[in-house]
Amino acid sequence: MSAAPQAQSRESRAAQPDALLAAHSVACHFQVSAGSRLFGRHRTLKAVDTVSLALTPGEIVALVGESGSGKSTLGRLLLGLAPPSAGRVSYRGEDITALEGEAWRRYRREVQVVFQDTGTSLNPRRAVGDAVALPLHYNLGLDQREAGPRADALLDQVGLAPATFRRRLPHELSGGQRQRIGLARALASEPRVIIADEPVSALDVSVRAQMLTLMQKLAKEQGVALLVITHDLGVVRAIADRVLVMYLGRIVEEGESAEVILRPRHPYTGALLAATPIADPARRGTRRATALRGDPPSVTDLPAGCRFRSRCPQAEALCAEREPLLVQVSEGSSAACLFPAGGRYLKRRP
């Protein structure tokens, strides 16, 4: 029950030989001052706190949690957009901070991102057809004559008719259409890894399935590794092979998505599932009342022991003393809880 075998199992998972992109116990801390800049107390905000994960080719991993849980920051660490305060991120086995020259360019080309807010990540003065063609030019070295038809094919692939959309400016598109431009743009560089931050939350149900199907195809047919950051467990159920549940900077549950959704071990995962609406009025009122009350505590002011205990419906005295580690609780899942549902870590006392 010590931390050693646990740390080992986590390390071994992150160190899978076929992992494309992996994070090894990464952390991302920010210094924030409370009150006056000069005299206020300085505090450390641990946005991401010792997280390990690995993405293998053809695998779709979902990262779920509420806003403020550190999901997007973890995505930024993996993309090399923010330096980790501790730990390291590796691509094809090499530390990304050590990459130089061609190796660095390859990492930047092969690891692409689809941002959540495409309203601000697209140049407002550039036609979206050109926005998609740019990476073809810079990353693949195609000239304008070759890039045009390729850009059209990419627009078509994401379900936007090239003839109609090629010349449009971002403000002339709906949020969902811009989101798809974001994906087309990421696909232009022929990536091996795509990190998609809330790729479908702005989309209508009918378009959402189209996008999810496209992502599934990318993974299964082209072996692209996908990390889908989302707060929608419906998306996880639909496409993810594996799911990581994040709460205040830590992974609190991890496992095969079917297993985690069917038998959530961590009370936080259970609460997220209970809060997801079901499209069936006959079952109204059958799901558990939402266990979660209020907002998560501030990341600068974490409670001692388990960080979920202030909102946990099952917290016990021991939870205030000991911080739970991520340990395997069943064949397909691990949870960071002293009293996981159906777990064999610690028997719940009567």
* Closest to another protein by CB, 276 or 310: 276
Dihedral of alpha carbons 215, 217, 220, 222, sign: negative
> Residue 280 interacts with another protein (CB under 8 A)?
yes
Among the listed residues 58, 119, 234, 297, the single contact to another protein using CB under 8 A: 234
* Site track for another protein across 171-200, x = CB under 8 A: ---x-x------------------------
> Residue 295 interacts with another protein (CB under 8 A)?
yes
* Closest to another protein by CB, 6 or 276: 276
Neighbours of 199 (CB within 10 A): 28
Least gap, CB of 95 to another protein (angstroms): 34
> Residue 23 interacts with another protein (CB under 8 A)?
no
* Closest to another protein by CB, 2 or 206: 206
Task: Give the C-alpha separation, 301 to 283, whole Å.
Answer: 39
* Closest to another protein by CB, 19 or 337: 337
Among the listed residues 127, 134, 153, 207, the single contact to another protein using CB under 8 A: 207
Least gap, CB of 40 to another protein (angstroms): 16
Among the listed residues 55, 243, 271, 319, the single contact to another protein using CB under 8 A: 271
* Closest to another protein by CB, 142 or 203: 203
* Closest to another protein by CB, 273 or 318: 273
Least gap, CB of 45 to another protein (angstroms): 16
User: Which tokens is 118 given?
Assistant: 């495409």
Which positions from 39 through 68 interact with another protein, judged by CB under 8 A? 66-67
Among the listed residues 274, 318, 341, 346, the single contact to another protein using CB under 8 A: 274
> Residue 235 interacts with another protein (CB under 8 A)?
yes
Least gap, CB of 61 to another protein (angstroms): 15
Among the listed residues 53, 158, 292, 312, the single contact to another protein using CB under 8 A: 292
Contact (Cβ atoms closer than 8 angstroms) between residue 116 and residue 176: no
> Residue 33 interacts with another protein (CB under 8 A)?
no
> Residue 213 interacts with another protein (CB under 8 A)?
yes
Which range, of 28-36, 145-153, 236-244, 318-326, touches another protein by CB under 8 A? 236-244
> Residue 26 interacts with another protein (CB under 8 A)?
no
Task: Give the C-alpha separation, 125 to 26, whole Å.
Answer: 37
The upper half-sphere exposure of residue 279, i.e. CA atoms within 13 Å in the direction of its Cβ, equals 2
CA dihedral 56, 108, 254, 198 (to 10 degrees): -120
Task: Give the C-alpha separation, 71 to 66, whole Å.
Answer: 8
> Residue 279 interacts with another protein (CB under 8 A)?
yes
Which positions from 237 through 256 interact with another protein, judged by CB under 8 A? 237-239
Q: Contact residues for another protein (CB under 8 A)? A: 66-67, 174, 176, 204-210, 212-213, 216, 231-235, 237-239, 258, 271-272, 274-282, 284, 289-290, 292-295
